[in-house]
Amino acid sequence: MSEALAGQAAALDAADELAACRALFALDDDVVYLDGNSLGALPRHVPARMQDVIAREWGQLRIRSWEESGWWTAPERIGDRIAPLVGADRGTVVVGDSTSVNVFKALVGAVRLAGDDRDEILVDASTFPTDGYVAESAARMTGRRIRALAPQEIVGALGPRTAAVLVNHVDYRSGRLNDLPAMTAAIHAAGALAVWDLCHSAGALPVGVGAHGVDFAVGCTYKYLNGGPGSPAYLYVRGDHQARFDTPLPGWNSHEDPFGMRSAYAPGDGAVRGRVGTPDILSMLALESALDVWDGVSIDAVRAKSLALTDFFLECVEAYVPAGRVSSVTPAAHAERGSQVSLSCEKAGEVMRALIERGVVGDYRRPDVLRFGFTPLYVGFADAERAAGELAALLD
C-alpha cells in the first residue's frame, strides 16, 4: 500500500475534531466497521442504562414507571432530541412504530391534507422496496393512482392532480443524495405535499426539514443514530399541519384523553397525533440513551468529515484497486452524495464475505453493489485506507 496515503490518513485522523467520539462506541480495534448505514455501533454506556431500566424501572417499579420513570412521555421527549438532528422544531417529531408504519401514516395524512381533487401520488421508483409497497397500499386505500418515477423525473411530472410525493433523501443502493430543498419547493409550487424518507441521511448530514418547509418526514434510528436493531422509527409532521393531520392509524395513545377509554376518537394536540399504541419502551429507552453521543456534536462537522472520508476512500480505491475491477456508482459531486460509497463489482457477495473475513465489514446489494457506510462519529481515515487496501488485495 502507499506510504503517502497511509501518512495522509494518519494526518487527517490527528486533525479530526470528532476523533474523540470513537471512544464512546464498543468497537474492536482490529475491525473496520463500515456498515453503520445498516446498523449503527453500540454506544458503550447503553448496556448499563438498559440494565437499570430492566432491573429497577421494570423489575422494581413496574407499572409505576409509566409515570415515575417517564415512560409515558418518552415518544415526544425522544422526538425532541432527534429534532435538531433533522432541523426540526421541538414538538414536531414523535418516536414510535417502524419506518414502514410511519411512511403509511405520513403518506395517507398528506393525501388527505391535499384534498379530494388531487388524485395522484408520485413515488421515487428507486426507493427502498417497502416504501413502494406502502405507497401502493396507500393509493388503493385513498382511491388515488400511483406513479413511480426516477427522482430526476419527479419535478417535471408534477401537476394539478398531484396530491403527495414520497422521496428518499439518500438512495439506499447508490448513496445518491436527492435535492431536498429544490424538490420540496417544486412540490409546493405544484400545490402538493412532500414526504421524505430520511433513513440514510439523518445523523449523517444536515436535513433542514423546518427550514425547507418539508410537510412530513420519517426515518429509522438504528443506522446513523445508533439506536440498536429494530429501534423505533420517528415521524415528523410540520407544525402548521398538526391540527389537520388525519392519521390513518388512530389509537388510544394519540387520543386527547387516552385513559378516558371513550368509543369515539378525538385526536390529541401536537406530535402526539402520530402515536398509535403502547410504546415499545425497552428499545425506545435504549435509543434515548444512545442519543447521548450527540451531545455537543455539530451536524455540520459530521457532514464535513463524511465528505472528507468518502473523498479519501475513493482516492484510495483509485490508487490501490486494479483498474477495471470496480467502479463507483455513488456520485462524485458533494451535493449529490450521502455518507456511503457504493462500488459496482463482479461477484459482490463473494467479495464482501471475503472482506468481512479480513476484518472490513460492509455489505452488498444484489447483483453487484458493494456498500461502504461511513459513520463520522466512529470511522476514521485510517479505516478508509485499510478498507481500500484489503479490497485491492482481494481483487489483485
What domains are defined for the chain?
Answer: 3-30+297-395 (3.90.1150.10), 49-294 (3.40.640.10)
Q: Does residue 367 surpass a pLDDT of 80?
A: yes
Residue 125 CA to residue 171 CA, distance in Å, equals 10
State pLDDT tens for residues 319-330.
Answer: 999 999 999 999
Determine contact, residues 324/24, Cβ cutoff 8 Å. no
For the annotated catalytic residues, the residue numbers are 128, 197, 222-223, 371
List Cβ neighbours of 346 (8 Å cut-off, separation of 6 or more). Answer: 325, 368
CA 64, CA 66: separation in Å to the nearest integer? 5
Is 129 annotated in a binding site? The answer is yes
pLDDT average, residue stretch 219-224? 98
Sequence letter at residue 213: G
- Concatenating the DSSP letter of every residue in 228-247 gives -TT---EEEE-GGGGGG---
pLDDT at 377: 98
Query: What confidence tens digit (pLDDT) does each residue in 239-286 have?
Result: 999 999 999 999 999 999 999 999 999 999 999 999 999 999 999 999
In one letter, which amino acid is 63?
Answer: I
Distance of CA 289 to the CA centre of its chain: 18
**Under 8 Å between Cβ of 134 and 103:** yes
Confidence of residue 152 (pLDDT cuts 50, 70, 90): very high
Separation of alpha carbons 320 and 317, rounded Å = 5
Q: Are 99 and 199 in contact (CB under 8 A)?
A: yes
| pLDDT tens string 47-106 | 999 999 999 999 999 999 999 999 999 999 999 999 999 999 999 999 999 999 999 999
| Ligand-binding site membership of 197 (annotated) | yes
Is the predicted pLDDT of residue 235 greater than 80, yes or no?
Answer: yes
Q: Kindly tell me if the per-residue pLDDT of 1 is higher than 80.
A: no
45 is in an annotated binding site: no
- Which residues, at least 6 apart from 274, have a Cβ–Cβ distance to it below 8 Å? 94, 96, 102, 105, 235, 237, 245, 247, 254
CB 387 within 8 A of CB 340: no
- Mean pLDDT, range 183-194, rounded to an integer: 98
Residue 142 annotated as binding?
no
Q: Say which DSSP state 154 is in.
A: H
Q: Quick one: DSSP state of residue 215? A: S
pLDDT digits (tens, 9 = 90+) for 287-308: 999 999 999 999 999 999 999 9
Task: With CA atoms as reference, report the closest residue to 173 among 343, 305, 308.
Answer: 343
- 310 annotated among ligand-binding-site residues: no
Annotated ligand binding at 222? The verdict is yes
CB 379 within 8 A of CB 34: yes
Q: What is the pLDDT of residue 344?
A: 98
User: Which pLDDT value is given to residue 226?
Assistant: 98
Q: Is residue 252 annotated as involved in ligand binding? A: yes
Predicted confidence at residue 2, as pLDDT, reads 86
Burial of 123 from C-beta contacts in 10 A (0-12 / 13-18 / 19+)? buried
